Amino acid sequence: MFVQKLLPALATSTVCSQATAVVNSAADASALANCATIAGSIVIGPSATGIISIDGPEQIGGDLTCSDAGGLVSLGSTTIASIGGSFALSNLTLLSTLNMASLKSVQIINWSALPALSQLSFTAVVSKATSVTITNTFLSTLNGINLETVSVLDINNNNHLKTFSTRVANVTSLLSISNASSIEIPSLAVVNGSMGLYGNYITSLSALNLTTVGYTDSNLRQGSLAIVANS
């Protein structure tokens, strides 16, 4: 009896502590359901299709990544609250639903080539990240991501993005925005690096508290402000 109980527990422990958990199907995702914490990373494989929901884990110590899964339509989790590494999505041509209901904290967001993704379902709102890069998506809004401080915030070539709005107050390295028609950064006070607005069709720009772009280090001025090809 003891052995019968011990073996499943050991199996669960191994699943939760492995360096990389590869998910190619809903069944693979279900195998992680008893893990409160995934010590390593989760990779959604390129053969994943349809709906993948990773419910059960609350923390991922490493990365959550998915690339080149051309048949993936929906990716989500009702339980994941923090990702210690990168949340990276790329070249997912059919992904139309991204539902991370509990996600609040992630180290790096890096999304590119998501032509079917029009909105985010991030109920808890991501408020902590050090770097966010979102490029070449179908997103019309970034509701669900609202940071206070970030190192890199690079939002570019999202041609359907109508309004870029954030409460971020401090950008420590780079702020770059392109292809937006309304830019609302009312809390932003300092960009300790470079700020660029490129190719935006601006009808509204709000940056009421912005006082500083760049910084002085050993009497050397660093950073720049670029406003290029906006209309």
The three-state secondary structure class of 2 is helix
Break the chain into its structural domains and give their ranges.
17-106+115-125, 147-231
Q: Which of the two residues, 53 and 1, has the higher pLDDT score?
A: 53
Distances (CA, A) of 48 to 28, 82, 211: 10, 23, 47
SS (H, E, C) 24-72: CCHHHHHCCCCCCEECCEEEECCCCEEEEECCCCCEECCCEEEECCCEE
* Alpha carbon distance 123, 78 (integer Å): 10
Quote the CA–CA distance of 127 and 106 in Å, as a whole number: 9
pLDDT per position as a tens digit, 131-173? 999 999 999 999 999 998 999 999 999 989 888 888 899 999 9
Which helix (H) or strand (E) segment holds residue 13: the answer is helix 2-17
- Residues 113-126 have pLDDT tens digits of 999 999 999 999 99
Span 198-207, pLDDT tens digits: 888 888 888 8
Burial letters for 118-139: b for 16+ Cβ neighbours within 10 Å, e otherwise? eebebeeebeebebbbbbbbbb
Q: In terms of DSSP bridges, do strands 220-222 and 215-217 run parallel, antiparallel, or are they unpaired?
A: antiparallel
At CA 209, angle to CA 203 and CA 215, rounded to 5?
110
Which tens digit of pLDDT belongs to each residue from 54-113? Answer: 999 999 999 999 999 999 999 999 999 999 999 999 999 999 999 999 999 999 999 999
Residue 9 reports pLDDT greater than 60: no
Confidence of residue 221 (pLDDT cuts 50, 70, 90): low
Going by the DSSP 8-state scheme, the letter that residue 126 receives in this structure is B
